[in-house]
């Protein structure tokens, strides 16, 4: 059902345990391209090498041709370089401080929720700014990839360096999965999904489950997705302006 900003804001005001699931759409308002949907980088399917982006960003390709995977990881990093979290990331970090329990589950690897100050945060696909060696224990944080020779070699053992992001065909990171499962088991009384085409089961699963159990669900997206049919509230809008409006109503009600 199409909803209003006021109805959407009421969920944030009334519910104590809120799960917010985000995808590339929330960072689109910071100027980052999405994969699919409005403004998608890869709507046309193939890269200039003739591979699908999913094949290039896969663990098989990384093991066979790390320079090719790195080329596209660099593209992703470049697209976020110099960009900042927007009003939607900031509103979520603000609401987390005000609510009893608000968790953000993101598929984004740009690190923007972390930068905005979200702490109850699961980065289920990792973060491009954290690099580690595939051979030894070496780890490093980088603001950007400027000056990196691709594929980068470990300063300690000369092994291949990779970003701590989940490549296609790879298991999800252990610690993020542990926190994800723990919080899902505790349960939520409201599930909000912002800017994702929701192709992964661990992303659409909590929304489908909540809808099935009559738990309120809200989707914020300028376009309809597979989830739009099942959520209780669909807010057709961009992430930043919608979350800013919700934050204003929340602040007004709490002043
Ligand atoms: P997606 O690209 O598949 O879908 C993006 C969704 O966002 C679409 O439904 C689109 O309609 C919506 N959207 C576009 N502009 C919006 C806006 N201003 N406000 C709200 N919604 C908007 O993204 P996804 O579902 O996150 O894709 C899955 C994969 O893409 C993930 O593995 C993720 O790691 C990766 N990815 C990450 C980033 C990032 O870190 N910022 C960017 C691109 C892709
Ligand atoms: Zn090493």
- Strands 126-133, 139-141: pairing kind: antiparallel
Q: Diameter of the chain by CA atoms?
A: 57
pLDDT of residue 36: 58
Q: For residue 152, count other CB atoms closer than 10 A to its CB.
A: 20
Q: Starting from the CA of residue 108, give the closest ligand.
A: 1
pTM over 0.85: yes
Give the Cα separation of 80 and 196 in Å (integer).
Answer: 18
pLDDT score at 38: 44
Instruction: Work out whether the CA dihedral 136, 73, 197, 94 comes out positive or negative.
Output: positive
Ramachandran category for residue 101: left, alpha or beta (phi over 0 → left; psi -120 to 50 → alpha): beta
Residue 116 C-beta-side C-alpha neighbours within 13 Å:
26
How far, in Å, from the CA of 192 to the mean position of ligand 1?
15
Tokens of 136: 């030894």
- Residues with pLDDT less than 70, the chain: 36-45
Q: How many CA atoms lie within 13 A of 148 on its CB side?
A: 26
pLDDT at 34: 80
Identify the pLDDT of residue 48: 82
> Which atom of ligand 1 is closest in space to residue 128's alpha carbon?
40
For the chain, the C-alpha Rg in angstroms (whole number) is: 19
Nearby residues of 90 by Cβ (< 8 Å), 6 or more positions away: 116, 117
CA 36 to ligand 1: nearest atom: 2
The pLDDT assigned to 50 comes to 87
Does any ligand 1 atom lie closer than 6 A to the CB of residue 130? no
Dig out the tokens for 197 from the structure. 């085409």
Compute the distance between CA of residue 54 and CA of residue 45 in angstroms, rounded to an integer.
9
Predicted local distance difference test score (pLDDT) of residue 42? 59
82 secondary structure, DSSP code: T
Tokens of 141: 């944080």
Tell me the per-residue pLDDT of 98-156, one tens digit each, with 9 for 90 and over.
999 999 999 999 999 999 999 999 999 999 999 999 999 999 999 999 999 999 999 99
DSSP string across 2-18: B--HHHHHHHHHH-SEE
Which numbered ligand comes closest to the C-alpha of 219?
1
114 catalytic? Reply is: no
According to the model, what pLDDT value does residue 255 have?
87
- d(CA 54, ligand 2 centre) in Å: 27
pLDDT at site 45: 65
């Amino acid at each position: 059902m199409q909803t209003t900003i006021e109805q959407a804001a009421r969920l944030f005001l009334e519910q104590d345990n809120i799960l917010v699931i985000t995808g590339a759409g929330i960072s689109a308002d910071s100027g980052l391209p999405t994969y699919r949907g409005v403004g998608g980088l890869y709507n046309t399917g193939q890269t200039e090498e003739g591979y699908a982006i999913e094949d290039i960003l896969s663990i098989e390709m990384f093991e066979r041709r790390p320079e090719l995977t790195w080329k596209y990881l660099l593209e992703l990093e470049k697209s976020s370089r110099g960009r900042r979290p927007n009003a939607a990331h900031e509103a979520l970090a603000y609401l987390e401080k005000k609510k009893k329990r608000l968790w953000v589950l993101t598929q984004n690897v740009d690190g923007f929720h972390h930068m905005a100050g979200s702490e109850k945060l699961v980065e289920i696909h990792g973060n491009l700014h954290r690099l580690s060696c595939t051979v030894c224990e070496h780890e490093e944080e980088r603001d950007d990839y400027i000056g990196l020779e691709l594929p980068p070699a470990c300063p300690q053992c000369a092994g291949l360096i990779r970003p701590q992001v989940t490549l296609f065909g790879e298991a999800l990171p252990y610690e993020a999965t542990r926190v994800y499962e723990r919080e899902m088991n505790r349960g939520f009384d409201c599930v909000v999904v912002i800017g994702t085409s929701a192709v992964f089961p661990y992303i659409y699963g909590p929304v489908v489950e909540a809808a099935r159990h009559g738990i309120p669900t809200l989707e914020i997206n300028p376009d309809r997705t597979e989830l739009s049919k099942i959520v209780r509230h669909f807010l057709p809008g961009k992430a930043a302006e919608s979350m800013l409006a919700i934050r204003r109503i929340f602040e007004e009600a709490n002043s």
